[in-house]
């Protein structure tokens, strides 16, 4: 997606979105490729996964991949009588 396409989804200007992407590029979390007048951004899933696993390990969780995380069941439409 381009910065313009993404900024249309949020209440921020294109320059603000581009500034945020500059930070994400510096952190190596996104890749960017210039195509004509546009810059296309792509999330680096493997880098994000490594960062999240490192964060989880600071809490003592023994995870090797994100597949080790059990999904949390979510109940919708039910009310508790407690």
The domain of 13 spans 3-68
Number of domains in the chain: 1
CATH of the domain at 44: 1.10.10.10
49 is a domain residue? yes
How far, in Å, CA of 75 to CA of 50, rounded? 30
pTM of the model: 0.54
How far, in Å, CA of 39 to CA of 20, rounded? 14
77 is a domain residue? no
pLDDT attached to residue 82 = 45
pLDDT attached to residue 13 = 82
80 is a domain residue? no
Tokens of 30: 């996104």
Q: What is the pLDDT along the chain (82 residues), one digit of tens a residue?
A: 777 787 788 888 878 888 888 898 998 888 888 888 888 888 888 877 787 888 878 888 776 665 655 555 555 554 444 4
């Amino acid at each position: 997606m381009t910065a313009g396409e993404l900024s249309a989804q949020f209440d921020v200007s294109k320059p603000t979105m581009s500034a945020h992407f500059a930070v994400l590029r510096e952190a190596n979390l996104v890749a960017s490729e210039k195509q004509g007048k546009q810059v296309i951004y792509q999330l680096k899933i493997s880098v994000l996964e490594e960062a999240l696993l490192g964060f989880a390990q600071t809490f003592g969780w023994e995870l090797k991949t994100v597949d080790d995380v059990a999904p949390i069941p979510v109940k919708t439409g039910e009310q508790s009588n407690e």
